Structure formats: C-alpha cells, structure tokens
C-alpha cells in the first residue's frame, strides 16, 4: 500500500497502515516523536505499529546529531535469526515432543541461564576481545559480568521464541527471536534515566523521548554501551542457533545448513538518507535496503516470512519487525483461555498453558495483512509455518 501522510509537529508522520487503526496512545506517541527538533524529513511508521514505552513500537526515526535511547527500546539489539536446512518435513518424526525437549535442554528459557558458558571458538574468533570490552561499560553494570556471560546463548521470555518451521516447499528451517538479555536491559534503563536529567530535554512533550546530543560525553558513553549490547544480542542469537543446529546434527547426521540470516529490530544505525548523515533508530523495525534479507515473524500459531528489502527511501529503507500486538498482555489474559490457546496453536508442538496465554495468536495483528501493507517495502522470499515453538 502507499504510505499515508499525517501532519506532525516538526516533521510529518508517514504510515504504512491506516491511521484510524492505530490506538490513540500510539498516535499521541507518534505526534510527540514528530515534535523532536532533531528529526529529519519525517517519521516512518510500520504496519505493525503499537504503543511502547517512550517511543512507539514500529517506528523508524532519523535524527540529526542526536539519539533517543527510548527510541531503541530496553531490549537493545533484539532481533531474529533463521537458517534453512537440507531436511524436509518427511525427515521429521511423527511426534515432535522429543525434538522440542532436546532443544529446550540446550537453550535455557525465561530467567534461565547456562551453568557453564555456552560460547566457543566455533561461534567467533574474537570472544576474548569482546568480553574485555565489558570492563569499559558504564560502572552501573560492572557487577553483572558473570550473569552476562552465563546468559549468552539464552532465549528469555515474553515474545521471544525458538521454532522449527516448514516453508511452502516443506523444507525445514530453524528460526529464533531474542535480544541482549538482562545486560542490554540494564544498560538501556541506565541511559534512559541519564538522558531524562539533561537540561536540553526539559521541554520535550514526553520525558521518555530524552536524547543525547552529538559531541557530548553522555552521547559517547551511550553509543559505546549500545554498540556493545547490539553485538551481544547478535552473538546471543548465533550461539543459540549453533546449539539447536547441534541437536539436529545429532538426530540427522547428514543434515546441511545454508548461510544463516540475521537482523536486529531494536537498534541504532549510522546511515545516509535524503543526502544527510543521520542516526536511525529502528524500534520494532528491520532494515530493508535493496536486496537485503530479513525476517518478519507472525505469532506462535501463524506464519512468518523471509523477505528481501526493496530499499524504499520513504521508509528509511525499513520494514516491520513482525505482526505487532493488537492488545496488551493483560487484556489477552482476560480475553483468552488455555482452551483458546490450544485451538489457535493446533498442530504446533508448544506450550499450551496459562503462562503463555498472553502470546496467543489472537493477541496479535494478522501477519498477512501486515505484509500486504508493506508490499512496497519488501518482497517475500519464503513463507514459513512453525511445527515446534519454544517459549519461556
């Protein structure tokens, strides 16, 4: 669909969804973001847009010499990874409960962490330099080094997941969604609080949108910690993918894996748009430069998509990060039952208890509608449907 332009305060708001379908609080957030004096050109709003802390989920913001940590989100570097295997549906056992159990045994979920570190030289050649950089992070997290090391290669909870999927050719994929775990959250919270105290943010319409300015010690400290956390999140997904692929290798010794696809969807990137160098924050959005592969998941009972970016300049070369919630977790728990969850996840080997009712497909927007709304942002490479879904 063509984007709809809504008049903003300092810049306009360009939306890949109908404005009347966006919740009132989210629209107010977008207006607040549009008032930022550092905003460039317009605010790009993805079709999975919904209310979030500080900045709206599904927003892409280009700022001149400034960055808002709330416009990145508290799970710095959250994103996706996926890999296509040589297996087909016919290779899988009739019941997938055993496979799910073996995957859960190697990837801790929820608040779980590894008893021993899970990263090895197989994942990257520079683990030692990476961990040495921990000493240069803000002193507020210095006591968290051991926890950060043992959470590397863990899933977390909420909307994070690990799946085995089939594409329309019945080829088996592994796909997962996770971020920078507790350490990324603590870094984000620290810097959001620090930004709120700066004098230049005193008159902003929403204190959570507080920014750091280029050339200041606060900006330098945030970007240092931010880029480390983004790297942590990328490595975290790579470690989990390796652990799950090892499970599949044990079950299927002749399995082969293609090159993995990986993308952040809560992050900052230094880019050039409309002839200007800017800092782009994508909160609930992936980069979709021309030819770039990305992953757009649905909910735990619906399909997901592997996509190729079309490089649309009006979206700052971005696309949605998923289906997007249409109701809060509290409302989902009040609206749906475990019987509803079982019905909506029929055919998927997954949890069907009250602990994940808030992740029921009915709490999310329709992923196919979301994809139709961004046909000028990405093209579909593959559609996937999960047969195993693991959640914390």
Could you tell me the CATH number of the domain that includes residue 223? 3.90.1860.10
Tokens of 189: 């919270």
* 261-297: b (≥16 Cβ within 10 Å) or e: bbbbbbbbbeeebeeeebbbbbbbbbbbeeebbbbbb
Quick: pLDDT tens for 36-93: 999 999 999 999 999 998 789 999 999 999 999 999 999 999 999 999 999 999 999 9
Q: In whole angstroms, give the CA distance from residue 131 to residue 117.
A: 12
**Residues annotated in a binding site for GMP:** 159-163, 265-266, 297-300, 304, 321-324, 391
**Is residue 18 in some structural domain?**
yes
**Is residue 44 in some structural domain?**
yes
**Is residue 311 in some structural domain?**
yes
Set 50, 191, 264, 321: catalytic member: 321
pLDDT at 124 over 60: no
**Is residue 353 in some structural domain?**
no
Average pLDDT over every residue of 288-314: 96
**Is residue 344 in some structural domain?**
no
Number of domains in the chain: 1
**Is residue 340 in some structural domain?**
no
* Residue 219, domain extent: 4-326+364-391
Average pLDDT over every residue of 105-110: 96
pLDDT at 366 over 90: yes
User: In sequence order, what are the residues at sequence separation of 6 or more whose Cβ sits closer than 8 angstroms to the Cβ of residue 291?
Assistant: 308, 309, 311
Q: In whole angstroms, give the CA distance from residue 175 to residue 160.
A: 11
User: Residue 5 phi/psi, 5° resolution?
Assistant: -100, 125
pLDDT at 384 over 60: yes
pTM for the model = 0.96
**Is residue 199 in some structural domain?**
yes
**Is residue 357 in some structural domain?**
no
pLDDT at 377 over 90: yes
**Residues annotated in a binding site:** 75, 159-163, 177, 265-266, 297-300, 304, 321-324, 391
321 is catalytic: yes
């Amino acid at each position: 669909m063509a984007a709809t332009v809504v008049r903003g305060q300092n810049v306009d708001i360009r939306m890949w969804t109908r404005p009347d379908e966006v919740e009132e609080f989210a629209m107010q957030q977008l207006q607040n973001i549009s008032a930022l004096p550092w905003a460039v050109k317009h605010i790009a709003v993805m079709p999975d847009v919904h209310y979030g802390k500080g900045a709206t989920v599904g927003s892409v913001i280009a700022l001149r010499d400034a960055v808002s940590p709330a416009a990145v989100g508290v799970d710095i570097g959250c994103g996706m990874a996926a890999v296509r295997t040589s297996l087909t549906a016919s290779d899988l056992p009739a019941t997938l409960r055993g496979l799910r159990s073996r995957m859960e045994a190697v990837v801790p979920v929820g608040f779980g962490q590894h008893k021993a570190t899970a990263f090895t030289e197989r994942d990257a050649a520079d683990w030692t330099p990476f961990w040495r950089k921990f000493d240069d992070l803000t002193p507020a997290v210095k006591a968290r080094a051991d926890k950060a090391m043992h959470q590397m290669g863990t899933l977390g909870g909420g909307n994070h997941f690990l799946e085995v999927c089939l594409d329309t050719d019945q080829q088996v994929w592994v796909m997962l969604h996770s971020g920078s775990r507790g350490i990324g959250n603590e870094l984000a919270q620290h810097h959001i609080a620090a930004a709120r105290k700066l004098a230049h943010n005193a008159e902003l319409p929403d204190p959570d949108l507080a920014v750091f300015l280029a050339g200041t010690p606060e900006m330098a400290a945030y970007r240092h910690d931010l880029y480390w956390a983004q790297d942590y999140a990328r490595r975290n997904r790579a470690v989990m993918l390796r652990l799950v692929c090892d499970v599949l290798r044990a079950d299927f010794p002749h399995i082969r894996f293609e090159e993995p696809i990986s993308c952040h969807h809560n992050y900052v990137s230094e880019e050039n748009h409309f002839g200007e160098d800017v800092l782009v924050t994508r909160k609930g959005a992936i980069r979709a430069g021309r030819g770039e592969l990305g992953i757009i998941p649905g909910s735990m009972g619906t399909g997901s998509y592997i996509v190729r970016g079309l490089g649309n300049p009006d979206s700052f070369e971005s696309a949605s990060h998923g289906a997007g919630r249409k109701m809060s977790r509290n409302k989902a728990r009040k609206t749906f039952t475990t019987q509803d969850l079982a019905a909506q996840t029929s055919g998927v080997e997954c949890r069907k208890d009250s602990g994940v009712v808030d992740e029921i497909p009915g709490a999310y927007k329709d992923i196919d509608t979301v994809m139709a709304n961004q046909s000028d942002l990405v093209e579909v490479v593959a559609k996937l449907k999960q047969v195993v879904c693991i959640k914390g």
